């Protein structure tokens, strides 16, 4: 492996996203193991002055020496191809040996474009770097139930980093990042797939679910669309969010945006209270990053129970109302 | 009229326990069986609904071993009306190989007079999770591409209106056709096959073509099962009597609002 390590950093309305900081931490480890290699970042699009200052401070803390900041009038609306053009431009400018982004929907989409444009290999959902020469990464397959050791021969290598696989740590020697503004060369075809409008999200608590400290989970054991009353009450009592298994959304009991799993949200709460959920791999892929898991299930051999930290053996329709009552009693 | 090609992949079921083959190069799914990725199921459903709405045809394509015919028949049973099986040892293929092979098959069929206005793929496969076949296929064919799309409609003047979830709400895109779209679960419910549908699927001819590419590989060294978490589940109790212990735990974890 040769050349600098470059990270696409995503931002929200306030700062660099958590998954981008995780990606920077993994990338810094990769750069340090490779030798005298600098860590660069690329930002795409104009940022509010206060956000820009916050992001640059975050990147400095992560040890980023150079920030390539792409600005262009045509970057006001998101288009994966235009973003990829900007990232590929920064990769060329920084002679990148490895280009990384968080494995978010956008990060994954942009990196697929970048890898195709640079005619190179992409490893998705990487959790760790096993070796740097040759570059060997461990990545999630089967929704995280299996890890694949993958060799990346081509340069630059393109990597997306799985969410919550890496703990964010600051660099030992923080940097005052040098900012290099640049204007990517965009062509008409880069803008064809741009967002033409954003519709107001309906009552959709996806973001709340992904960020909730407490998630109450419900599976087939809820029994029917009418079986969620006690679970919703527990959710309210703990100021948490409701998350459901794929069975529940497939049966039409609850909307898809509440789904936790490989094809739903990935959650990272302090506690996940999984009620009447067997714990299929599809579901485990979305909830395994919970700090503590409490399973409530009639079947003590269900995977959700055997993988949990705590369990109550019983019918959720009896156990959950009792928990609600006890909570109401103690919180008065 | 929109002719739609939907590309699907046979993948191991993820509902049972996962075993690896002895050489740890692959998943041993003999006992759990195979299925379609959830995203692929939704891509099939969208292909059928777009074809019906525009009086077009929905063709299903799968690259893989002979066993992939099982998943092709599933797609025929719910309403695809034509099928192409690209014969290949999929385990030797990386995402770039799969995209190159499909692109070549699409080009040769188009040269033969069968053109596709819209090509749908699943956003990422449930097994290999590469997140890139759709994008690579689009570049190989010189077509625009979207990923993470939940719903697609094709207008009378031949544009695709696609919607997907973005960071600030539902994002709307308008693409000129032909185009490639990678579909994600969440916008539509896949239909179940009917008995007549299954019967018809059995009779529908499946065109078989040999893969037109030599695969360059996928970099896989081996698979590993993540270290098993120490099984130290603490049983707090049985039935409603456990409520006290549960609430104690919630207080200990500091998740009860004061």
Q: Tens digits of per-residue pLDDT, A72-98? A: 999 999 999 999 999 999 999 888 999
Secondary element (H or E) of residue B246: helix B243-252
**Distance between CA atoms of residues A116 and A111, nearest Å:** 8
Q: Which 214-253 residues of chain A touch chain B by CB within 8 A?
A: 214, 238-240, 246, 250, 252
> What DSSP state is assigned to residue A220?
G
Secondary element (H or E) of residue B51: helix B38-53
- So what's the pLDDT on residue A2? 59
The CA-based dihedral angle spanning residues B77, B79, B85, B90, taken in that order and rounded to the nearest 10 degrees: -80
CA dist list (Å): A62 to A36, A88, A170? 16, 22, 5
Structure tokens at A13: 């309305």
Q: B-chain residues within 8 Å CB-CB of A121? A: 94, 96, 219
**Distance between CA atoms of residues A117 and A81, nearest Å:** 10
A48 touches A144 (CB < 8 A):
no
**Distance between CA atoms of residues A76 and B254, nearest Å:** 42
**Is residue A231 packed enough to be buried (19+ CB in 10 Å), middle (13-18) or exposed (0-12)?**
buried
| Helix B133-141 with B95-111: angle, nearest 10 deg | 40
The per-residue pLDDT of chain B, averaged, comes to 94
pLDDT grade, residue A121 (50/70/90)? very high
Considering chain B, what percentage of its residues have pLDDT values greater than 90?
Answer: 85
- So what's the pLDDT on residue A203? 54
What is the mean pLDDT of the segment spanning A29-41? 91
Above 70 in pLDDT, residue B224? Answer: yes
Q: Which 145-184 residues of chain A touch chain B by CB within 8 A?
A: 145-153, 160
pLDDT grade, residue A100 (50/70/90)? very high
Nearest-Cα residue of chain B relative to residue A250:
B189
What is the mean pLDDT of the segment spanning A24-53? 94
The model carries a pTM of 0.89
Q: How does pLDDT run across A140-173, given as a tens digit for each residue?
A: 999 888 999 999 999 999 999 998 889 999 999 9
Above 60 in pLDDT, residue A1? Answer: no
pLDDT grade, residue B257 (50/70/90)? confident
The answer to whether A64 contacts chain B (CB < 8 Å) is no
**Distance between CA atoms of residues A107 and A156, nearest Å:** 17
A140 touches A103 (CB < 8 A):
no
- So what's the pLDDT on residue A201? 64
**Distance between CA atoms of residues A28 and A169, nearest Å:** 10
Bridge partners of residue A6, in order along the sequence: A40, A99
- So what's the pLDDT on residue B258? 61
Provide the shortest C-alpha distance from residue A223 to chain B (in Å): 17
Provide the shortest C-alpha distance from residue B127 to chain A (in Å): 4
Q: Which 194-213 residues of chain A touch chain B by CB within 8 A?
A: 194-201, 206, 213
Give me the half-sphere count of Cα atoms (radius 13 Å) on the Cβ side of residue B133: 29
Cβ contacts of residue B43 below 8 Å, gap of 6+? B6, B7, B8, B120, B121, B122, B183
Structure tokens at A50: 């206060």
Above 90 in pLDDT, residue A35? Answer: no
User: How many residues in total does chain B contain?
Assistant: 258
**Distance between CA atoms of residues A172 and B16, nearest Å:** 44
**Distance between CA atoms of residues A214 and A64, nearest Å:** 34
What is the mean pLDDT of the segment spanning B82-88? 98
ipTM of the complex: 0.93
- A149 to B220: CB separation less than 8 angstroms, yes or no: yes
CA A142 to chain centre: 16
Q: B-chain residues within 8 Å CB-CB of A265? A: none
- So what's the pLDDT on residue A185? 94
What is the mean pLDDT of the segment spanning B78-96? 97
Q: What share of chain A is helix, strand, coil (3-state, %, to 5)?
A: 35, 30, 35
Cβ contacts of residue A51 below 8 Å, gap of 6+? A11, A13, A14, A15
Above 70 in pLDDT, residue B37? Answer: yes
Above 80 in pLDDT, residue B16? Answer: no
Q: Name which of A116, A194, A310 is nearest B233 (Cβ-Cβ).
A: A310
User: For residue A156, is the peptide bond before it cis, meaning its omega torsion is within 30 degrees of 0?
Assistant: yes
**Is residue A79 packed enough to be buried (19+ CB in 10 Å), middle (13-18) or exposed (0-12)?**
buried
Q: How does pLDDT run across B102-147, given as a tens digit for each residue?
A: 999 999 999 999 999 999 999 999 999 999 999 999 999 999 999 9
**Distance between CA atoms of residues A130 and A149, nearest Å:** 8
**Distance between CA atoms of residues B185 and B44, nearest Å:** 11
**Distance between CA atoms of residues B138 and B230, nearest Å:** 45
Alpha helices, DSSP H, located in chain A: 18-34, 49-61, 80-93, 105-117, 206-211, 229-237, 246-250, 281-287, 303-307, 316-331
Above 60 in pLDDT, residue A211? Answer: yes
Q: How does pLDDT run across A226-270, given as a tens digit for each residue?
A: 999 999 999 999 999 999 999 999 899 999 889 999 888 888 899
- B172 to A195: CB separation less than 8 angstroms, yes or no: yes
Considering chain A, what percentage of its residues have pLDDT values greater than 70?
Answer: 97
Q: Which residue has the tokens 């990829």?
A: A84
User: How many residues in total does chain A contain?
Assistant: 332
pLDDT grade, residue B175 (50/70/90)? very high
Nearest-Cα residue of chain A relative to residue B94:
A121
A118 touches B195 (CB < 8 A):
no
Above 70 in pLDDT, residue A206? Answer: no
> What DSSP state is assigned to residue B212?
-
**Distance between CA atoms of residues B110 and B88, nearest Å:** 21
- A323 to B247: CB separation less than 8 angstroms, yes or no: yes
Structure tokens at A186: 């965009």
**Distance between CA atoms of residues B228 and A306, nearest Å:** 11
pLDDT grade, residue B183 (50/70/90)? very high
A54 touches A78 (CB < 8 A):
no
Cβ contacts of residue A321 below 8 Å, gap of 6+? A230, B240
């Amino acid at each position: 492996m040769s050349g600098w390590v470059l990270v696409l950093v995503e931002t929200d309305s306030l700062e660099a996203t958590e998954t981008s900081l995780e990606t920077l931490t993994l990338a810094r480890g990769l750069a340090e193991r490779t030798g005298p290699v600098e860590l660069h970042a690329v930002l795409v699009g104009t940022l509010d002055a206060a956000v820009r200052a916050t992001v640059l401070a975050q990147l400095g803390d992560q040890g980023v020496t150079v920030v390539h900041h792409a600005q262009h009038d045509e970057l006001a609306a998101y288009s994966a191809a235009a973003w990829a053009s900007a990232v590929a431009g920064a990769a060329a400018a920084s002679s990148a040996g490895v280009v990384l982004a968080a494995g978010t929907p956008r990060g994954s989409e942009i990196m697929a474009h970048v890898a195709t444009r640079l005619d190179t290999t992409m490893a998705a959902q990487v959790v760790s770097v096993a070796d740097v020469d040759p570059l060997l990464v461990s990545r999630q397959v089967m929704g995280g139930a299996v890890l694949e050791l993958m060799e990346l021969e081509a340069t630059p290598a393109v990597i997306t980093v799985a969410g919550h696989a890496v703990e964010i740590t600051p660099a030992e020697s923080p940097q005052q990042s040098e900012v290099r503004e640049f204007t990517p060369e965009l062509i008409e075809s880069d803008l064809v797939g741009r967002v033409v409008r954003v519709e107001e999200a309906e009552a959709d608590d996806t973001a709340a679910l992904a960020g909730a400290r407490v998630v109450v989970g419900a599976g087939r054991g809820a029994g029917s669309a009418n079986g969620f009353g006690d679970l919703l009450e527990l959710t309210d009592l703990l100021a948490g969010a409701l998350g459901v298994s794929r069975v529940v959304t497939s049966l039409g009991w609850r909307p898809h945006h509440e789904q936790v799993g490989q094809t739903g949200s990935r959650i990272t709460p302090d506690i996940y209270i999984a009620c009447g959920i067997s714990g299929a791999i599809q579901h485990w892929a979305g909830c395994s990053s919970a700090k503590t898991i409490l399973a409530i299930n009639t079947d003590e051999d269900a995977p959700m129970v055997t993988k949990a930290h705590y369990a109550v053996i019983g019918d959720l329709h009896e156990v959950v109302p009792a928990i609600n009552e006890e909570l109401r009693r103690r919180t008065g | 009229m929109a002719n739609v090609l939907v590309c699907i992949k046979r993948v191991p079921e993820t509902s049972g326990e996962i075993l690896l083959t002895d050489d740890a190069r692959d998943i041993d799914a003999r006992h759990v069986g195979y299925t379609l990725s959830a995203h692929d199921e939704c891509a099939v459903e969208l292909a059928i609904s777009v074809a019906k709405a525009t009086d077009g045809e929905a063709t299903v394509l799968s690259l893989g071993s002979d066993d992939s015919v099982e998943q092709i028949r599933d797609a025929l049973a719910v309403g695809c009306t034509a099928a192409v099986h690209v014969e290949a040892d999929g385990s030797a293929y990386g995402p770039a190989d799969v995209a190159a092979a499909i692109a070549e098959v699409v080009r040769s069929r188009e040269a033969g007079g069968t053109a596709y206005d819209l090509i749908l793929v699943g956003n990422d496969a449930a097994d290999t999770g590469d997140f890139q076949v759709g994008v690579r296929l689009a570049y190989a064919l010189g077509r625009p591409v979207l990923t993470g799309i939940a719903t697609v409609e094709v207008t009378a003047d031949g544009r695709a209106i696609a919607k997907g979830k973005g960071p600030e709400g539902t994002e709307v895109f308008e693409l000129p056709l032909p185009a490639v779209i990678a579909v994600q679960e969440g916008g539509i419910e896949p239909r179940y096959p009917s008995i007549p549908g299954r019967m018809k699927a059995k009779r529908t001819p499946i065109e078989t073509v040999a893969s037109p590419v030599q695969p360059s590989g996928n970099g896989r060294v081996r698979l590993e099962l993540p270290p098993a978490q120490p099984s130290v589940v603490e049983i707090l109790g049985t039935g409603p009597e456990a409520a006290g212990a549960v609430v104690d735990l919630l207080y200990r974890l500091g998740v009860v609002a004061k």
